[in-house]
Amino acid sequence: MSFTDAALELNVTQSAVSRQVKQLEQGLKTQLVTRMHRSIELTARGSELFSVLQRNYQTVQALIESWHSNQQQRIVIKPHSVTPRALFCPRSSNCKSAIQSMKSW
């Protein structure tokens, strides 16, 4: 795992990913990753946070998939101010297609 790999997945620069993670760590007042020469590794707290975020993402995805109606519905998703959007909803094709009818926050 590396910031470079994450940057490629998110279509942003490596420094942008690194900066966002650093800001998140500062906001949460805890270290989430251990930085090594060419890679990163989740700390215990980082792993715990990832697990919770992954479950919540799957819950939101399941909810959206259950809405198989054509009715216009509106939801407001407001992550905590220190949570980067990339962690809440990655810019992957799965996430984009699941929420394409939703307005950007």
Note the pLDDT tens digit of each residue in 23-65: 999 999 999 999 998 899 999 999 999 999 999 999 988 888 8
* Domains of the chain, CATH where assigned: 3-61 (1.10.10.10)
What are residue 33's phi and psi, to 5 degrees?
A: -135, 150
| 35 DSSP β-pair partners | 40
Model pTM score = 0.58
